[in-house]
Chain A
Amino acid sequence: MSTLTHTTSPARPRTDPEPAAASERRRRTSPGALLSKGVVNGLLIVAAFYTLMPVSWLLLAATKNPRDLFGTSGFALGDFNLFTNLHHVFTFNDGIYLRWFGNSVLYSVIGSGASTFLSVATGYAFDKYDFKGKEKLFAAVLAGVLVPTTVIQLPMYLLATKVGVVNTYWALLLPALVNPFGVYLARVFSEGYVPNEVLEAARVDGAGEVRTFAGIALPMLAPAFMTIFLFSFTASWNNFFGALVMLNDEKLYPVNLGLFMWNSVTQQQPEYYSLVITGSLVAVVPLIVAFVCLQRFWRSGLTAGAVK
């Protein structure tokens, strides 16, 4: 979208090269300053419109019956049919959508919970302990961050066929457990959040290492846990390619693969449009709510990744 690619910035009035704070103060209230304030905020509003418009359209489209969907223009309101559409989505094909939704929750919540626990324990050990080959192992973790996951999907599928886990819940859960980026983040957070002195004190008191980790370090790492969980959750909720490769049985589908299948017949059977649109909305709302409520955590995660 070209609106966002302006690398030219708002034209600012050239001020004389006369220095210093006095001219700064004068300029702050000058018309030029007002203009640039308007331009800066105006550009941000345009950008926010661009990012929010498609989601708003989805919300509106989910309230329309199939006739209005094509009959009324995109942002005009048709008859309010949101509840009819929702009922249709939840009852269609014996309520398969709800099953998909449950599968997505299973893959994402259970899988990410376990994977985050593993990442935090591993990252903590990398930070606090010395062991043989530590930096080599950590280099392997960093290499793992850069391995394109889609590239190992096909051999993973063939291995899974050999082991007999293909087309089972394990086919998506097992790969989701390994999150190298989570280990990297956990190490960074452990450096920042868990002071060595606290561990020393616990050791002097005679607490074992595992108890120290579970009772003292883990609570300190709670924000890190949440951050890594969010990243991992997003990745597995997003994992469309993996599901497409690993699953044939539609009873095991996560929401996105189910929607993909519905979407692939819309051109022959337009009545599926409503199902896909309403189904997409139902899948997206919990994510948006989670992201808005958990802002603090993804922010800190992005910061940890960016400011190093």
Chain B
Amino acid sequence: MAAPLAPAVKARHTSPAKPPGPSKLRRGQRRAAALFVTPFFVLFAAVMAAPIGYAVWMSLFQERSSGLGFGGTERVFSGLGNYTKALSDTGFRASFAHIALYCALYIPVMIGGSLVLALLVDSAMARAKRFFQLALFLPHAIPGLIASIIWIYLYTPGLSPVLDGIGALGGSWDFYSNDHVLSSMVNLCAWQWIGYNTVIFYAALQAVPRETIEAAVVDGAGALRTALQIKVPLIASAVVMTVLFTCVGAIQIFTEPKLLNQRGAPSVDTEWSPTLFIWKAGFVQHDYGLAAAASLLLALLGVILSYIVTRLGNRWKAAS
């Protein structure tokens, strides 16, 4: 994981407190700094850097059954063999197509929804702002697995008040059918994240100088124009950061398709998302080389996405 990630967010430089005193003080500070940061970086190396290094190592080897398929297997160096194997695997390729389609639907819905809700809460006309923020944020307090279970039950005929309501109106809907399962998944994730991002955008809107908004109003801009032309560009960086985190989260999607697959949604197979594919390769087929290569390809995609979104965001900010 190298540095093109330089995120839009940078901690401000503050000059560290410089002691006026002799070098003994400074030595004490160096020692303290070492004492404070060393434990974190030791653990960081153990649970983040080491697994990545180990994944790289594993991805370079393949298990070959020796001889005539009798006896054990041996590990042989295969260079980029696992990578070509992963990239030519139709299931792995399809999982990225699924994710792309999912993002094309999910990101506009979720980001658009959050932005609209944040602008609504921020508008002078909104009442009970604290209540609305809390109500919208609440799903985020619920673990993803439990959120998925709740919605799965709300999708289940016989259990679901939603389906009862649709039935009472004379309609019918199958949340698991091939045509609907993607929107069912998008809804499940949007429910968990829309309020969280609303609160983030609202917080960013609080930092927009009130004079700017008053000036726009005095110039005769209505609430809608003020929102779209003044407020949105000013919180562009928060939106870009959120899109970035959403993308990086979306390519890792696991729990939701896993549960939909368990429920027997016909078009969500056991390799529907890249993480499901990795899970299957590693824990079902015990092909660790393939699983490691697939993991690293996925991580690489995450880095590329971060980079693209950051670059776009910077250009967008420069233009506005």
Tell me if chain B binds chain A: yes
Query: Residues of A at under 8 Å CB distance from B?
Result: 1, 4-7, 9-10, 12, 14-15, 17-21, 23-24, 33, 36-37, 40-41, 43-44, 47-48, 50-52, 54-55, 57-58, 61, 69-70, 73-75, 118-119, 121-122, 124-131, 137-152, 154-159, 174-175, 177-178, 180, 183-184, 187-188, 191, 196-197, 199-200, 203-204, 208-210, 213, 234, 237-238, 240-241, 245, 256-257, 259-260, 263-264, 267, 273, 276-277, 280, 283-284, 287-288, 290-292, 295, 298-299, 302-303, 305-308
Residue numbers in B under 8 Å from A50 (CB-CB): 191
* Chain B contacts with A in 37-94, Cβ cutoff 8 A: 37, 39-41, 43-44, 46-48, 50-52, 54-55, 58
Contact A5 B16 (CB under 8 A): no
**Interface 0/1 of B185-203, CB less than 8 Å to A:** 0010011001110011101
Cβ of B104 within 8 Å of any chain A Cβ, yes or no, is no
A and B contact pairs by CB, cutoff 8 A, 7 listed = A6-B116, A40-B125, A48-B132, A125-B32, A174-B47, A199-B17, A240-B144
- Which of B22-30, B95-103, B169-177, B311-319 lies at the interface? B22-30
Contact A152 B40 (CB under 8 A): no
* Complex CA–CA separation, A121 to B34 (angstroms): 11
Contact B120 A259 (CB under 8 A): no
Contact B302 A146 (CB under 8 A): yes
16 A-B pairs besides A24-B217, A146-B248, A303-B203 with CB distance below 8 A are: A47-B132, A51-B139, A127-B11, A140-B44, A147-B48, A148-B252, A177-B47, A180-B48, A184-B9, A203-B19, A259-B146, A259-B149, A267-B263, A284-B146, A295-B134, A307-B207
Contact B116 A238 (CB under 8 A): no
Partner of B28, one of A70, A131, A141, A209: A209
Cβ of B145 within 8 Å of any chain A Cβ, yes or no, is yes
A178 in contact with B47 given A263-B149, A273-B159, A280-B150 (CB within 8 Å): yes
Cβ of B209 within 8 Å of any chain A Cβ, yes or no, is no
* Complex CA–CA separation, A152 to B252 (angstroms): 11
* Complex CA–CA separation, A41 to B9 (angstroms): 33
Residue numbers in A under 8 Å from B7 (CB-CB): 142, 145-146
Residue numbers in B under 8 Å from A48 (CB-CB): 131-132, 135-136
Interface size grouping (class) on chain B? 35 or more
* Complex CA–CA separation, A160 to B31 (angstroms): 32
Contact A127 B295 (CB under 8 A): no
Residue numbers in A under 8 Å from B21 (CB-CB): 203-204
* Complex CA–CA separation, A183 to B44 (angstroms): 11
Pairs A-B, 8 closest by C-beta atoms: A74-B161, A209-B32, A125-B36, A129-B33, A196-B17, A155-B55, A155-B51, A48-B135
Partner of A54, one of B6, B144, B150, B248: B150
Partner of B190, one of A1, A57, A196: A1
Contact B138 A288 (CB under 8 A): yes
Contact A137 B36 (CB under 8 A): no
Contact A154 B126 (CB under 8 A): no
Contact B127 A41 (CB under 8 A): yes
* Complex CA–CA separation, A40 to B47 (angstroms): 47
Partner of A129, one of B16, B48, B139, B145: B16
* Complex CA–CA separation, A184 to B189 (angstroms): 26
Contact B248 A74 (CB under 8 A): no
Min C-beta distance of A282 to chain B, whole Å: 10
| In the complex, residue of chain B having the shortest beta-carbon distance to the beta carbon of A162 | B54
Contact A58 B141 (CB under 8 A): no
| In the complex, residue of chain B having the shortest beta-carbon distance to the beta carbon of A135 | B13
Residue numbers in A under 8 Å from B262 (CB-CB): 263-264
* Complex CA–CA separation, A61 to B149 (angstroms): 13
Which has the most chain B C-beta neighbours within 10 Å: A184, A284, A303, A307? A307
* Complex CA–CA separation, A40 to B120 (angstroms): 6
A240 in contact with B143 given A43-B120, A152-B55, A213-B36 (CB within 8 Å): yes
Contact A75 B220 (CB under 8 A): no
Partner of B32, one of A21, A129, A155: A129
Cβ of B241 within 8 Å of any chain A Cβ, yes or no, is yes
Residue numbers in B under 8 Å from A152 (CB-CB): 48, 51-52, 55, 295, 299
Min C-beta distance of B96 to chain A, whole Å: 14
Residue numbers in B under 8 Å from A200 (CB-CB): 17, 19-20
